[in-house]
Structure 1
Amino acid sequence: MPRLGGGPYRGSRTAGPGEGEGESDGASGHRAHRAHHGRPARRARAAAGRDGAGWPGWSPLDSFTLESPAPGGGEGVGAVRVFRTGRHVSRERIVVSEPDRHFAYVLLSGLPLRDYRADVVLTPGADGGTEIRWRSVFRAKVPGTGWIYRWALGRFVKDVVRGLARHAAATG
């Protein structure tokens, strides 16, 4: 299990309807966010992974570029995507793309982190909505700075999840 400088994040919060909140499963380096919305979630499932160009419209991201498509084309497994937020640029490779269910990527560059992987899992809710679970695992390159990235990425991912839930509710 990856360890972050500064020890494990502890504590747990569960989101209410339409909210994304931070959660830890008690393991070092894990951060998860959830949101649930009651509308049919086809758009949320599509937007969660395969539509990077749409992310700047509902997330804190400023721009998107498909640096290299997947071997089969588009934003499938193997595609490299570039997102910009202000002066920050991050590059990521898609490693899992199961339409309407699971999307995962690894960070190639942009943050001083090792072994960064995020998994976005979408599950149908009993009310016809969708639960969005976004979980990131990483190690800080600089010892003692892991807590900073847990905090900053936790806030950022929470904003992304909330934006996705709002987008799905508005367009679902």
Structure 2
Amino acid sequence: MRTQRIAAEATTEATPEEVWHLLSDRSTWPSWSPLGSHAGVSPGADGDPDGVGGIAEFVTGRHRVREEIVEREPLHRLSYALLSGLPLRDYRAVVELTPSGAGTRIRWSSTFVPERPGTGWIYRLALTRVLRGTVTGLAAAAPARRR
């Protein structure tokens, strides 16, 4: 089966520091994204719940997914892998922050392989919608923190 690739981008007037503040704290994600509730499962190696190795669970509708932080480069990049909850293999998401004028360009991308043949298109469609909502939500929430 082929690896599926999806991405969504947005630009915000918020600085990379302001965006990173929300992005790097997964407990905030449900407040600005289409995701439902958040629960920390286990902290990363450094004791930070959102550090490398940190596992969190998100419940959205009937979906309960667990994700692990696999890369964390403050102010620039956060990557996580899906551990369970969707019939996908090798799911990895990368969020990249790039200064853009006085603001920040946010690019959220992911790759995955569907477990069942013929389902790649539907997961690409559904997850693209989630990524778009997540990126636009983060882009809107970051400057709102200033007010």
TM range (shorter): over 0.9
Aligned pair partner of 2:107 in 125, 133, 143: 133
1:160 maps to 2:134: yes
Shift of 1:38: 2.1
Shift of 1:117: 0.3
Distance 1:57 1:140 in 2: 28
Secondary structure in 2 matching 1:73: coil
Aligned length in residues: 145
Shift of 1:43: 2.1
Is the 1:41–1:168 Cα contact (8 Å) retained in structure 2? Answer: no
1:9-158 equivalence runs, <5 A: 29-48=4-23, 50-74=24-48, 75-125=50-100, 127-158=101-132
Is the 1:46–1:99 Cα contact (8 Å) retained in structure 2? Answer: no
Superposed CA deviations along residues 53-99 of structure 1, whole A, max 9, x for unmatched, are 11111111121111000011111100111011122110011000111
Distance 1:39 1:139 in 2: 34
Is the 1:52–1:64 Cα contact (8 Å) retained in structure 2? Answer: yes
Unaligned runs of 5+ in 1: 5-28
Amino acid at match of 1:111: L
Identity of aligned residues (%): 48
Shift of 1:30: 1.2
- Please report the RMSD computed on the Cα atoms of aligned residues, expressed in angstroms: 1.2
Distance 1:159 1:144 in 2: 25
TM-score by length of 1: 0.81
